[in-house]
Structure formats: C-alpha cells, structure tokens
Amino acid sequence: MKLAIVGATGLVGTELLKVLAERQFPLTELLPVASAKSVGQLVHFLGKDYPVVSMDDAIAARPDIAIFSAGGSVSKEHAPRFAAVGTTVVDNSSAWRMDPTKKLVVPEINASTLTADDKIIANPNCSTIQMVVALNDLHKAYGLQRIVVSTYQSVTGTGKKAVDQLLEERAGQVASNPAYPYPIDLNVLPHIDVFEENGYTKEEMKMVHETKKIMGDSNIQVTATCVRIPVMGGHSEALNVQFHKEFALNEVRAILHDTAGVELVDEPSQNRYPMPKDSHGRDAVLVGRLRRDETQPCTLNMWVVADNLRKGAATNAVQIAEYLVANKLVG
C-alpha cells in the first residue's frame, strides 16, 4: 500500500501523519509531497525520516492513494494527474466538493456510496463534517427541516500564518505577516473566507450546500453565520434544528449516545458541556447543551465541538482511505 500525502509539511499534513500512525494505517511506502522549496526536507513518520518529493516524482511512483491537503488550486491541477495513473485521491480542499461527478464523503454517513471508479473523492469542510456527524442519526429519526448554525472557529482552520498572528498578538507584538484584516487576539471576526454577492461568506455557503449533498436531501434548509475566534484548536457550533417530527429529549440523548463518532457531554448541573480545549487532539464530535427551543415546535438547540484538524480534516480523510482499503476499492 503506497500512500502519498500532498501538503505533508502543512498543519493538516502534519496531523495526517499523526493520525495514520495512531490508527496503524497499513501503508508500506510513504511519499510526502510539498512545494518545490520543500523538496528534500525530511518528514518523520513512525521512527523513520522520509524525504519530501516533487509532485511529478510522486505521480510517477503511482501510489494507491494520495491524500491532498494543499489548497484548491493545487488539487484542481494535480488531482486529475494522479487519478490518470490509477491513484485514488482523497482531497481536503473545496475544489471538488460540489462537483456533481464527485462524491462528498463523511464515512459514518455515506462511505457505502464509494466504488473503485471513484478516483477523486472530496473531503467536506471541517465545520460541515462535525455538524452532519452530530445530526445524521437524528435526521433518520425525525427528519431535518431547517438548521440555523452559528460557528466559533479556531485560527488553525486558516493555517500556520493565522496561528503565528494570534501568538504574536498575544505576546503584545504587531503581527509581522497577518492572515486576517484585523487583530484576532481579544477579538471576534464574523468573516471566514470571501464574501459573496448574497452577503454570506463562502464558508457559510459551503455549509449550506455540502450539508444537502452529504445528507442526500436537497430539501433541508440551512442558514449559517461563521465566526473566527482566538482559539488555537477546535471549532464550536451553536445549532438550532427544526425537525419534521416531534421528539423527546431522552430519546435524542439516547440516539446521540449511540451515534458513531459522537460523544455526549451534557450534564449542565455538573457544568459539563463540550469545549474546544476538550476536543483538541481527539477524533470524537462532542455534543451537549441539549434543550428544546421553547418558541416553536419540533426544534432542538445543541452545542457541537470538534477538533477541526482531526475529524474536521485529517481523520475524516484517513477514515475514507481506511474504507477504500477494507473494501478492496484500491490496490
């Protein structure tokens, strides 16, 4: 099993290597790929050092799987080149997510749709992943009608440049190479990705469109406000969810308790609720603050937290790769 990691030296790429090691992914050869300036740099994995190789050399090696985490333009240009030599690509960027010919996969929900013919598979947006993992089994039970989501997203979702900005500002310095148009420390930015003509940001519209595609239901209504906060790891979401059917809170808790990938943290009397610091370095989607919306029927309020570099990116991609291997769809 020959595996390439495209973007191996970035934040998500580094996390991918950790997840592969932790989950004992059955690879026999690792091909770390990064930009031309990084070629030859050593990447440490399971006690060995692997030199970063160029894109062309990685394609020539014909890996079984290539996991991309290097941005949309890189994916658009090079994912088809890998696919053309028989490699199955799992792409973390937004490049292929809404392509009607590509599958958008969260393994707990729709991995069973994958076939050996799917040579480019899209990994959803981090905020979307944790939301749909928390909601999928509730959707099966009660039918999702409308989701109002407000996100509180970590700077790690932007990348190392944003992490550096936060740390410099926290140290009392002016950021040397800021990722954001305003300071992020002691501040909140209601602005993630670019603004579109309808006044929503691209990030907000990703949540709208991706949710419908993953759930396989274009009738689910979604409206989002995405916000960047000065937290180092872990995205949080406040969800107001209206169902077609009425529910009982004890049933909701039981469903979430048994939902794959979810950990229920909902003991308000003990001050137990999900927080980003508790999600850091973990794969579980933490769910809590469950309560009925008392202003309208069939509506639930909930709080959802996950590590955006793990389940929101690296772990989800590795889980897709694991499914491909386990079901003999590659190699």
Q: Which residues are catalytic?
A: 126, 235
Whether residue 119 is annotated as binding a ligand: the answer is no
Got the DSSP string for 245-311?
S---HHHHHHHHHTSTTEEE--BGGGTB---HHHHTT--PEEEEEEEE-TTSTTEEEEEEEE-TTII
Do the annotations mark residue 74 as ligand-binding? Answer: no
Query: Cα–Cα distance between 309 and 44 in angstroms, integer?
Result: 19
Query: Which of 181, 179, 151 is CA-nearest to residue 163?
Result: 179
Helix (H, G, I), strand (E, B) or coil at 107: helix
Tokens of 276: 């980003």
Distance of CA 121 to the CA centre of its chain: 14
- Is position 10 annotated in a ligand binding site? yes
Strand partners, 213: none
Q: What angle do CA 285, 291, 295 make, to 5 degrees?
A: 130
228 is in an annotated binding site: yes
Q: Is 24 annotated as a binding residue?
A: no
Is 76 annotated to bind a ligand? Reply is no
Q: Identify the DSSP state of 157.
A: G
Q: Evaluate whether 46 touches 29 at the Cβ level (below 8 Å).
A: no
Instruction: Give the bridge partners for 182, in sequence order.
Output: none
38 is in an annotated binding site: yes
Binding residues for NADP(+), as ranges, are: 9-12, 37-38, 308
Binding residues, as ranges, are: 9-12, 37-38, 97, 153, 228, 308
Binding residues for substrate, as ranges, are: 153, 228
Binding residues for phosphate, as ranges, are: 97
